[in-house]
Chain A
Amino acid sequence: MTEPLSFELSRPAVDPPRLPDANVAGPSPADVLPRGALRAKPPGLPRLSEPEIMRHYSRMASLNYSISENFYPLGSCTMKYNPVVNEAAAALPGFAELHPYQDEETVQGALELMWRLEQALCAIVGVDRVTLQPAAGAHGEWTALRMIRAYQHSRGEARTEVLVPDSAHGTNPASAALSGFQVVEVKSGGDGRISLADLESKLSPRTSALMLTNPNTLGLFEREILDIAELVHSTGAMLYYDGANLNAFMGICRPGDMGFDAVHMNLHKTFTTPHGGGGPGAGPVGVKSELVPFLPAPTVERTNGRLTLDHKRPQSIGRVRSFYGNFGMLVRAYSYILAMGGDGLSQASRDAVLSANYLRKLLDGHLEMPHDGPCMHEFVASAHNLTVQDGVRALDVAKALLDREFYAPTVYFPLVVPEAIMVEPTETESKATLDAFAQAVREIVAQAKTDPQGLHQEPKRTPVGRLDEVAAARQINAYLQGQSEDPVLRWKAAAESPS
């Protein structure tokens, strides 16, 4: 089943919606503005009635898998349930209808919420201050590196390299490069954890920071984290924490206590703000005291119960986003933290670890488990055995899961595991769901022996089958090189049709 594009459904006979008239005598643009300033032809937007629009988008919604309907064991993405009360909180007119340039006296509640959220995040990750400005995780990574660089500059240090483990998220090296650093890769050892020997050999007076996620992307806790921190700090470099995996240990331990100097958090992972099909998220960054002067401006300050925005921060790295960040997402995260409390957050992480280890055990022996357990909140399996024996790849397993109404785990990441299948069940799934998922994987593994060809053709029950991305890329190249007029990246009216 597919749905036509709004542009294809468009009918010129549809009247525009009824909208207010000016109801006052005054000039129209054509009366006042020079002809050259005006648009000659109306923009090519579709023309549909409201019932047609609602059906169009309802049909499109039905083509999606989502947490509301499906198990979504997407490793590294923490796809937990998004409590609906958070949506109600963010929609309160006292938040949704606030203008960002209202005077401080009129937004004390909003500033108080931001201040309390900052305090809560400080307590959860063990830092001194938090900026709520970054709009996403990658934005937070970059913000943290800018602060580290500004701090080192202020001390007259010209450190030019950032160390990134080979198992790291792609955003890590990209953020480092955008912050003006050379990226140096650190190898993982045979046990999947960072190799201290390799780390030591890469550290130098040029090193600005080591970017690390813990547990790492294999779901393994870096047991030697305290030694790593000591080693990094002994060269004068800083330790940055990628918060993608924070859901593993809330209330169990804290990055700040491990020695991390800057910590980013994904409110859309750990703190249940919805992913929205790819944003909006929010990526606050927490820092230890030495980095506080470099926080983006403005910060929220509280004196004698009165809240203010502090724009006068001479050492600040400046502003990383307009206004104060994705405020609506901050409301949702705050509401989640209030409802969970310290006890609830600790329980959530424990349950996430329990679920991951349980599911890992159920799949052990069916898929390869390249590293010894226990794991933390996620684990990485490998379909390497199936590939070698039956020609069935991780991608085939992923697509076959879609036909069994499970979203697929993350595949081919981290890069250090061949045919990687990265599974993160989260704490919000029941044992019954985990059992059903494990059963589905076992069936697929069994089918790999009997009918590998069938697996190559899945999914068959989704709205479309496997899409030919290679052919699509070829067509895009033809367009970009001027050999074709089909843009592929947008709809375009056929030349003869009236606009």
Chain B
Amino acid sequence: MLETIGVSSMNDLLVDIPQTLRLESLQLPAGLSEFETMAQVAALANRNQVFADRLTFRGGGVYRRFIPAAVAAVTSKPEFYTAYTPYQAEASQGTLQAIFEFQTLIAELAGLDVANASLYDGATAVAEAAMMAYVHTGRNEVLVSGYVHPEYVQVLRAFGEGRGIKVRKGGEPNKKTAAVIFQQPDFLGLLVDPRALTAAAHEVGALAIAAVDPISLAILAPPGEYDADIAVGEGQQLGLPPSFGGPHVGFIACKRELVRKLPGRLVGTAHDAAGRRGFVLALAAREQHIRREKATSNICTNHSLCALAAAVYLTYMGPYGLRQVAEVSFTRAHVLAERLAALSGWELAFPERQFLNEFPIRVPKGSAVVRKLARKGILGGLDVNRWFRELKGVLTFTCTEVNDPRAIDELLQALAS
């Protein structure tokens, strides 16, 4: 190859690099065989404690759920996972169609007009939605109402600072408010009144942004029904393992009049000369590679493969399977809440509030309780006092279709011992 190029050594190809910059070698160990590589990586994996899914009662934005084998069977197809962003549409119809189906599935769940091809996670989805509201209204304050996931708010603050967007927590919206952001169910698992929050936002000309749990939408009124303008959320529950927090997938859906302000990729239908339907990247004029500094967002990569997982999951479940999963989680969580609240010294933190499958409970010596459970292989509730000073001694417990009734018994026995 060097001969064809017309040089005598590899170094002749590196002549543009100043000699003073040239390295002898990298300060890294030498390479390993596949066997040794896997042994080293597995040794690290083995240093972690894995809690069985049925004995995991901790949520806080990431949940253990049943993942159909079909999901990994599809996402591990190399035709999907080793493809690039579908710039050449004719050679990327599989990816484009999967995204188009994902967009439709999310729009159907949210009851809104259009969803995009996905975002990084629930937190950045909230931040991107706030940007849309800022651009749409020309106002530079967003109001976070109630117990929105604290990490979503932290990310929102970091994004907002770059753009000069102020994040206000609590209080009433006013004429400076670009959007009211609320979470349904909220970070503690409690239901909020989305109709009232949406109406309050609209009254002052602000947008209503609902951060929603996608599985809850099988039973709860969707954002489109209560007239929210933008729905966002975290799609981890739709077929993705917890994986220490990522990769997961954010989603965003909106009303028709906001579509031009959506961040990231959008796929639409198009036809070829023979009249065959295909799929293409659409409305690219919003995006960074065309508009550069005037783009709606800097996002380039979305989370396609995770969106594919979510599409397979939702297609597998169908409307009634998804409802079954949501209802079973609801029933079991209510049984668990009742049994925990009957323990001496334990009481529901907000007994007057409704919840679905996660709830806050006030516990004597919360951290000792959690440590005790961990020793028995149970991942107990999440101590939310770490984020909210007023919630001293409050743990949130979650229960889904993977926590069978015997697992609940085991949890109660461990607490009693």
B307 to A: closest C-beta gap in Å: 8
Decide if A57 touches B305 in the complex (CB within 8 Å). no
A170-B53 CB under 8 A given contacts A136-B301, A361-B6: no
- Of the stretches B29-37, B174-182, B340-348, B358-366, the one at the interface is B29-37
Instruction: From the candidates B14, B46, B91, name the one contacting A64 in the complex (CB within 8 A).
Output: B91
Q: By the criterion of a CB under 8 Å from any partner CB, how many residues of chain B are at the interface?
A: 201
Contact A97 B246 (CB under 8 A): no
How far, in angstroms, from A107 to B89 measured CA to CA in the complex?
42
B327 touches A28 (CB 8 A): yes
If A17-B321, A43-B319, A66-B82 touch, does A174 touch B295 (CB 8 Å cutoff)?
A: yes
**Cα–Cα, bound, A70→B107 (Å):** 34
Chain B residue at smallest Cβ distance from A255: B21
Supposing A26-B331, A327-B243 touch, asked if A279 and B319 sit within 8 A by C-beta, the answer is no
With an 8 Å Cβ cutoff, the count of chain A residues facing the other chain is: 196
Interface pair B17/A338, CB less than 8 Å apart: no
Distance (Å) between the CB of A402 and the closest chain B CB? Answer: 5
Let me know if A201 is at the binding interface, CB within 8 A.
Answer: no
Contact with A along B313-330 (1 / 0, CB 8 A): 011111111111111101
Question: Is residue A452 within 8 Å, beta carbon to beta carbon, of the partner chain?
Answer: no
Residue of B nearest to A251 (CB): B26
Q: Is the CB of B121 within 8 A of A135?
A: yes
Contact with A along B126-156 (1 / 0, CB 8 A): 0000010000000000000000010110110
B93 touches A323 (CB 8 A): no
Smallest beta-carbon distance A329→chain B, Å: 6
> Which residue from A252, A257, A277, A339 sits with its C-beta under 8 Å from B85?
A277
Q: Which residues of the partner chain A approach B122 to less than 8 Å between Cβ atoms?
A: 322
Q: Which B residues lie within 8 Å of A322 (CB)?
A: 61, 121-123, 149, 151-152, 155, 234, 245-246
Bound complex: CA A331 to CA B298 (Å): 26
B33-64 vs A: 1/0 string, CB under 8 Å?
11001101111111111110100101011101
CB neighbors of A among B169-219 (8 A): 191, 195, 217-219
Q: List 12 A-B contacts (CB under 8 A).
A: A19-B401, A43-B319, A94-B50, A135-B120, A223-B16, A257-B21, A275-B85, A319-B155, A328-B246, A331-B41, A462-B90, A490-B104
Q: Mask for A99-117, Cβ within 8 A of B = 1, else 0?
A: 1111100111110110000
Interface pair A85/B34, CB less than 8 Å apart: yes
Q: Are B50 and A93 in contact (CB under 8 A)?
A: yes
Contact B48 A19 (CB under 8 A): no
State the CA gap A45–B111 with chains docked (Å).
12
**Least Cβ distance of B248 to chain A in Å?**
8
A369 close to B (CB within 8 Å):
no
Given the complex of chains A and B, what is the CA–CA distance between A44 and B101 in angstroms?
Answer: 12
- Which one of A31-39, A230-238, A382-390, A443-451 contacts B? A31-39
Check A61–B80 contact: CB distance below 8 A: yes
* B389 interface residue per 8 A CB criterion: no
Cross-chain contact B259 with A170 (CB below 8 angstroms):
no
Q: Decide if A339 touches B46 in the complex (CB within 8 Å).
A: no
Contact across chains for A110 and B48 when beta carbons are under 8 A apart: yes
Are A21 and B328 in contact, CB atoms less than 8 angstroms apart? yes
CA distance A264 to B32 in the complex (A): 26
How many Å from the CB of B407 to the closest CB on chain A? 11
Q: What residues of chain B lie closer than 8 Å to A123, measured between beta carbons?
A: 26-28
Say whether A127 faces chain B, with CB atoms less than 8 Å apart: no
Specify which chain B residues have a CB less than 8 angstroms from the CB of A64 in the assembled complex: 79-80, 83, 91-95
Please determine whether B269 and A24 come into contact, CB atoms closer than 8 angstroms: no
Could you tell me the distance between the alpha carbons of A27 and B22 in the complex, rounded to whole angstroms? 70
CB pair B401 A319 closer than 8 Å: no
Interface flag for B252 (CB, 8 Å): no
The reply to whether A268 and B301 contact each other, CB–CB distance below 8 Å, is yes
Report A260-277 residues with CB < 8 Å from chain B CB.
268, 274-277
* Distance of A108 Cα from B139 Cα, bound (Å): 45
- In the bound complex, what is the Cα–Cα distance between A278 and B51 (angstroms)? 32
B265-286 CB contacts (< 8 Å) to partner A: 265-274, 276-280, 282-283
Task: Collect the chain B residues with CB atoms within 8 Å of residue A6's CB.
Answer: 101, 311, 315
Contact of A178 among B23, B163, B245, B328 (CB under 8 A): B163
Additional pairs, 9, CB under 8 Å, beyond known A135-B124, A467-B89, A472-B269: A16-B324, A38-B221, A40-B225, A99-B379, A139-B120, A324-B245, A410-B87, A463-B278, A492-B104
Smallest CB separation, A275 vs chain B (Å): 5
Residue of B nearest to A88 (CB): B38
- Which residues of B lie under 8 Å from residue A174 when comparing CB positions? 288, 291-293, 295, 297-298
